[in-house]
Amino acid sequence: MKRFLLLLIVAATLSVQAQTPADAKMNAFVTALMKKMTLSEKLGQLNLPSLGDFVTGQASNSDIANKIRQGQIGGLFNIKSVAKIRDVQQVAVEQGRLKIPLLFGMDVIHGYETIFPIPLALSSSWNMKLIERSARIAAIEASADGINWTFSPMVDVARDPRWGRIAEGSGEDPYLGSQIAMAMVHGYQGDDLSKNNTILSCVKHYALYGASESGRDYNTTDMSRIRMYNEYFPPYKAAIDAGVGSVMASFNEVDGIPATGNKWLMTDVLRNQWKFKGLLVSDYTGISEMVNHGMGDATTVATLAMRAGVDMDMVSEYFIKEMPKVLSRGQITLARIDEACRRILEAKYRLGLFEDPYRYCDVQRAKTDVFSVAHRTEARKMAPETFVLLKNQEGLLPLKKSGTIALVGPLADNKENMSGTWSVAAKLDQAISLMAGMKEVAGSTVRLLHARGSNLDYDSSFEDRAGMFGKSLRRDPRPKEVLIQEALAVAAQSDVIVAALGESSEMTGESSSRTDLSIPQAQRDLLEALVKTGKPVVLVLFTGRPLTLPWEAKNVPSILNVWFAGSEAGYAIADVLFGDQYPSGKLTATFPQHVGQVPIYYAAKRTGRPLNGPWFQKFQSNYLDVSNEPLYPFGYGLGYTTFKYGPMKLSATQLKGNQLLTVSVDVQNTGKSEGKEVVQLYIRDVVGSVTRPVKELKGFKKIQLAPNEIRTVTFRITPEELKFYNSDLKFVWEPGEFEIMVGASSDDVQRVTINWQK
Ligand code: BGC
């Protein structure tokens, strides 16, 4: 017993010693504050309702204001404008009993008012500085307008493009996704959360949300733990290692228990294994939805969430309603409620809100720092790095700034769809359409003719569903033949046709799953008619997900995938079309040939019957009707110049223990213009105690080269890069043979086999 006590004292001393003076100060402050709080006030901190927008001045009279005064609210989200937020904060800190400031959250996903390309596009830049900068600017703008908490980054690995939310993340790869998660957290939070231009970041949706069965949103997920740890967990963990201040639970179930009520996920993994110390918030009605999942009544599910480790209840209001009862029945401890409350108060403390509740309410800054010319200029410059040139026959692109160009398609002259999904704070009507961008960039030397050519889709009800949140494409009521004829008439007068086609902005994002991954039929008919004219056609492809484009890949001379490029989209696309900028994005999610191949991803396992050789082979793993190949693989993307890779050079091929392996390759720009190349490193663990993927991304470098310039790109590999979770879920590396691969995309690599012993 004595020894045990001694151990306890030592442990306590150590943990006190491990605390920084700043942490100790925070703990003392929060402890003192919590001593004054009633149970009801503590539960109030756990309550995060969404506030529909209201007019300035209404705040103090609203129902919400009464709740704030009574200490029933810990934070709010979905209010826009510094004046309104200031009003609401004033109610909290001047009329609330304990004057506790509120958190103000928002989905600032890819920019605030200055909108950057959608996250899937940003990931295609493979440029971590650029991504971090986009998050930095988003934080500068949001914080200037009163927001101190963003529900970003979304790091769900997604390998099923039917799932509309693939647009919000970084694609299919855990390694790349982890790098991006870190960059974004740093971008939002900076190195000091209490500065007035840094905000609390929230990594979401923990966990596995990207693996919804059949790509249908909110659907069931089910996977082995070994897959979770190796393929789906890494980006969440990377965000936590980078110091993210909050985590959002996902809607889906994990191992048969909804994530929101899953103690293994929320406490054993997140808190105990990964040492996450910040606040854990449910997703929107994530707690009450557990009733629909079949987990029990309101009391039961609230208890489940609280016991699992959820600290804050987004929208359900179940914690505040149910916990007094649950506590009185002894089904939850006060210590757990205290812990949840403490984490929310700590977040507020770290943001500096107790010191100055109006820290993020500088009306002056809101006037200068939001949607500024400087930020918009940066957004325009970033976008070309996210564009993926999928095809460019005979160097059709870039276009000359002369002659006549026919610009056609339902996305050619539309501002509202340029920003893409989750652009809550965007000024949609101030985004730059492709037509406006082309006019300005080409100037008077180009004759630009325009025709709509088609609607988004023949089915007007589909078009309604795909045009929500003020993002309608404004349907043209004329018959389809008339629309196509008009486009052909314009095409007949032109030297080249630019077809702006694809998805509308709201065809991806939340609750925007599709079973068909092609360009809608109305637009495909238009495209076929345009191609038939024999004039050169450039397809400017708008999309928030990988699409199936087999016909287009074969028949359209040039395809420039521009995703949704943000508020400056039109300028940025025009810059690239006319060669003032060049595209340098590479895919981060595989483009399938056919939707039936989904899920399709490069880091697949070999199976016992791999297809070695040409398709089709009976009794090998393949399809009767479509080959196993993707249409465009992970890591693929062209530019306006070409690159040549020299042979790989390795510092050794027989290694031992913690030795360092360097792998280098000379890359030369063999074209006539400057360009950027993403040099990719993959590793295959040839034999393992568990099956290992055919290759896994383990490094990448984006380089810029002038014509003829040669650069040596070097990667450093240690046993760390060889590690994986084995069947005991231990993170280990196993000695033996490894294939080291370097190349321009996941299916264009050179490889050398090495042997690495312990
Ligand atoms: C989404 C989250 C989002 C939240 C708040 C939910 O429906 O799943 O990603 O952060 O709403 O707007």
Let me know if residue 53 belongs to a domain: no
Ligand 1 centre distance from Cα of residue 510 (Å): 8
Q: Looking at the structure, do residues 403 and 498 belong to the same domain, yes or no?
A: yes
Q: Which atom of ligand 1 is nearest to the CA of 78?
A: 12
The CB of 255 under 6 Å from ligand 1? The reply is no
Q: Give the closest residue (by CA) to ligand 1 atom 4.
A: 284
- Residues 615-649: b if buried by 16+ CB within 10 A, e if exposed: eeeeeeebeeeeebebbbbbbbbbbbbebebeebe
The CB of 283 under 6 Å from ligand 1? The reply is yes
How far CA 259 is from CA of 204, 222, 376, 503, in Å, comes to 12, 12, 38, 31
Alpha-carbon span 221 to 207, nearest angstrom: 10
Let me know if residue 711 belongs to a domain: yes
The parent domain of residue 223 ranges over: 107-366
**pLDDT for position 14:** 46
**pLDDT for position 413:** 98
Pocket test residue of 76, 154, 284 for ligand 1, highest count of atoms within 8 A of CB: 284
Q: Identify the CA nearest to 364 among candidates 56, 83, 76, 59.
A: 83
The set of catalytic residues is 283
pLDDT in tens, 702-744: 999 999 999 999 999 999 999 999 999 999 999 999 999 999 9
User: Residue 484 pLDDT more than 80?
Assistant: yes
Alpha-carbon span 570 to 436, nearest angstrom: 7
Q: What is the percent of the chain where pLDDT is above 70?
A: 96
The CB of 510 under 6 Å from ligand 1? The reply is yes
**pLDDT for position 479:** 98
The CB of 165 under 6 Å from ligand 1? The reply is no
- If you average pLDDT over residues 569-579, what whole number do you get? 98
**pLDDT for position 19:** 85
CB atoms within 10 A of CB 705: 19
In this prediction, residue 61 has a pLDDT band, given cuts at 50, 70 and 90, of low
Pocket test residue of 424, 510, 513 for ligand 1, highest count of atoms within 8 A of CB: 510
Alpha-carbon span 20 to 62, nearest angstrom: 41
Ligand 1 centre distance from Cα of residue 134 (Å): 20
Q: Give the closest residue (by CA) to ligand 1 atom 8.
A: 283
Q: Looking at the structure, do residues 258 and 361 belong to the same domain, yes or no?
A: yes
Secondary structure (3-state) at 542: strand
Q: Give the closest residue (by CA) to ligand 1 atom 2.
A: 283
CB atoms within 10 A of CB 6: 10
Give the domain CATH number at 421. 3.40.50.1700
Q: Which atom of ligand 1 is nearest to the CA of 205?
A: 9
pLDDT in tens, 280-339: 999 999 999 999 999 999 999 999 999 999 999 999 999 999 999 999 999 999 999 999
Q: Give the closest residue (by CA) to ligand 1 atom 6.
A: 284
- If you average pLDDT over residues 392-411, what whole number do you get? 98
Q: Which atom of ligand 1 is nearest to the CA of 106?
A: 12
Ligand 1 centre distance from Cα of residue 259 (Å): 15
Let me know if residue 44 belongs to a domain: no
Ligand 1 centre distance from Cα of residue 381 (Å): 29
Ligand 1 centre distance from Cα of residue 198 (Å): 21
Pocket test residue of 48, 80, 104, 107 for ligand 1, highest count of atoms within 8 A of CB: 107
Ligand 1 centre distance from Cα of residue 107 (Å): 7
**pLDDT for position 268:** 98
pLDDT in tens, 121-141: 999 999 999 999 999 999 999
- Number of domains within the chain: 3
Instruction: Check if the beta carbon of residue 595 is closer than 8 Å to that of residue 460.
Output: no
Alpha-carbon span 215 to 160, nearest angstrom: 6
Q: Looking at the structure, do residues 555 and 684 belong to the same domain, yes or no?
A: no
Q: Which atom of ligand 1 is nearest to the CA of 154?
A: 9
User: Residue 89 pLDDT more than 50?
Assistant: yes
**pLDDT for position 59:** 63
pTM of structure: 0.97
Let me know if residue 612 belongs to a domain: no
Q: Looking at the structure, do residues 467 and 437 belong to the same domain, yes or no?
A: yes
Q: Give the closest residue (by CA) to ligand 1 atom 12.
A: 107
In this prediction, residue 12 has a pLDDT band, given cuts at 50, 70 and 90, of very low
Q: Looking at the structure, do residues 332 and 450 belong to the same domain, yes or no?
A: no
Give the domain CATH number at 201. 3.20.20.300
User: Residue 399 pLDDT more than 90?
Assistant: yes
What percentage of the chain's residues is helix, strand, coil (to nearest 5)?
35, 20, 45
In this prediction, residue 50 has a pLDDT band, given cuts at 50, 70 and 90, of confident
The CB of 107 under 6 Å from ligand 1? The reply is yes
Q: Looking at the structure, do residues 293 and 383 belong to the same domain, yes or no?
A: no
The DSSP annotation for 51-91 comes to -----TT-GGGSHHHHHHHTT--SEEES---HHHHHHHHHI
Pocket test residue of 50, 53, 151, 423 for ligand 1, highest count of atoms within 8 A of CB: 151
Give the domain CATH number at 681. 2.60.40.10
In this prediction, residue 10 has a pLDDT band, given cuts at 50, 70 and 90, of very low
Q: Give the closest residue (by CA) to ligand 1 atom 11.
A: 284
Let me know if residue 22 belongs to a domain: no
Ligand 1 centre distance from Cα of residue 283 (Å): 6
Alpha-carbon span 649 to 395, nearest angstrom: 32
The CB of 204 under 6 Å from ligand 1? The reply is yes
Q: Which two tokens stand for residue 377?
A: 């200029």
Q: Looking at the structure, do residues 164 and 309 belong to the same domain, yes or no?
A: yes
Ligand 1 centre distance from Cα of residue 247 (Å): 12
Q: Looking at the structure, do residues 425 and 362 belong to the same domain, yes or no?
A: no
The CB of 41 under 6 Å from ligand 1? The reply is no
Of residues 146 and 15, the one with the higher pLDDT is: 146
Let me know if residue 423 belongs to a domain: yes
Let me know if residue 63 belongs to a domain: no
pLDDT in tens, 630-669: 999 999 999 999 999 999 999 999 999 999 999 999 999 9
User: Residue 25 pLDDT more than 80?
Assistant: yes
The CB of 151 under 6 Å from ligand 1? The reply is yes
- If you average pLDDT over residues 203-220, what whole number do you get? 98
Alpha-carbon span 598 to 215, nearest angstrom: 9
The CB of 734 under 6 Å from ligand 1? The reply is no
Q: Looking at the structure, do residues 332 and 259 belong to the same domain, yes or no?
A: yes
Phi/psi at 205 (nearest 5 deg)? -110, 115
The DSSP annotation for 650-702 comes to ES-SEEETT--EEEEEEEEE-SSS-EEEEEEEEEEESS-SS---S-EEEEEEE
Q: Which atom of ligand 1 is nearest to the CA of 168?
A: 9
The DSSP annotation for 221-283 comes to ----HHHIIIIISHHHHHHHHTT-SEEEE-SSEETTEEGGG-HIIIIIIIIIIT---SEEE--
The DSSP annotation for 323-371 comes to HHHHHHTTSS-HHHHHHHHHHHHHHHHHTTTTT-TTTT--HHHHHHHSS
Q: Looking at the structure, do residues 312 and 421 belong to the same domain, yes or no?
A: no
Ligand 1 centre distance from Cα of residue 203 (Å): 12
- If you average pLDDT over residues 470-481, what whole number do you get? 95
**pLDDT for position 11:** 47
Q: Which of 366, 400, 432 is the last residue of a domain?
A: 366
Mean of all residue pLDDT scores within the chain: 96
Count CA within 13 A, CB hemisphere, residue 3: 0
Let me know if residue 18 belongs to a domain: no
pLDDT in tens, 179-200: 999 999 999 999 999 999 999 9
What is the maximal distance between C-alpha atoms in the chain?
94
The CB of 289 under 6 Å from ligand 1? The reply is no
User: Residue 63 pLDDT more than 90?
Assistant: no
CB atoms within 10 A of CB 338: 15
Q: Give the closest residue (by CA) to ligand 1 atom 10.
A: 151
Q: Give the closest residue (by CA) to ligand 1 atom 7.
A: 284
Region of poorest pLDDT, from 59-63, 177-181, 217-221, 576-580: 59-63
Ligand 1 centre distance from Cα of residue 282 (Å): 9
Question: How many residues would you count in the chain?
Answer: 758
Q: Looking at the structure, do residues 349 and 496 belong to the same domain, yes or no?
A: no
Ligand 1 centre distance from Cα of residue 365 (Å): 27
The DSSP annotation for 594-632 comes to SGGG-S--SS----SS---SSS--TTSS--SSS-S--SB
Q: Looking at the structure, do residues 447 and 509 belong to the same domain, yes or no?
A: yes
pLDDT in tens, 421-465: 999 999 999 999 999 999 999 999 999 999 999 999 999 999 999
Q: Which of 344, 366, 388 is the last residue of a domain?
A: 366
Q: Which of 330, 347, 366 is the last residue of a domain?
A: 366
Instruction: Check if the beta carbon of residue 430 is closer than 8 Å to that of residue 471.
Output: no
